[in-house]
Amino acid sequence: MAQSRVEAVLINDQAEHFTHRRLIAELAETNRLPLMSSSLDIVEVGGLIAYQPDNHVLFRYLASCVDRILRGEKPGEIPILQAAAFKLGINLKTAQALGLVIPPSFLARADLVIE
């Protein structure tokens, strides 16, 4: 990271990233880099910010799709759901360590705040 002069790190929610999320967060912290992700789990282990679809909504839709398929509906006839509900997580300890100030208006929108 340091050799490439990276200014921030953005990871997605792939299984490998989830498995190594603590190591990734530690490396970002060591290199004083803001770490962002599409999974709230990263905020809980030291990442700065995460923005992810609301999994409860997505899983309920998935269950209804499975039910429809088991009742005989063709999978190709089931509409694709585009996420409309999202969750925002912010780690204030990490922000402070990086010397960042999170605006109160942005903080008020967060669903998860680590202090």
Would you state the pLDDT for residue 86? 94
Strand 49-53's sheet: what is its strand order? 9-11, 35-37, 49-53, 86-91, 112-114
CA gap 111, 97 in Å, rounded: 21
Percent of the chain with pLDDT over 90: 73
CA distance linking residue 114 with residue 43, whole number of Å: 7
Architecture of domain 9-52+85-114: 3-Layer(aba) Sandwich (3.40)
β-strands 86-91, 49-53 pairing: antiparallel
Entry pTM:
0.80
CB contact at 8 A, 113 and 90: yes
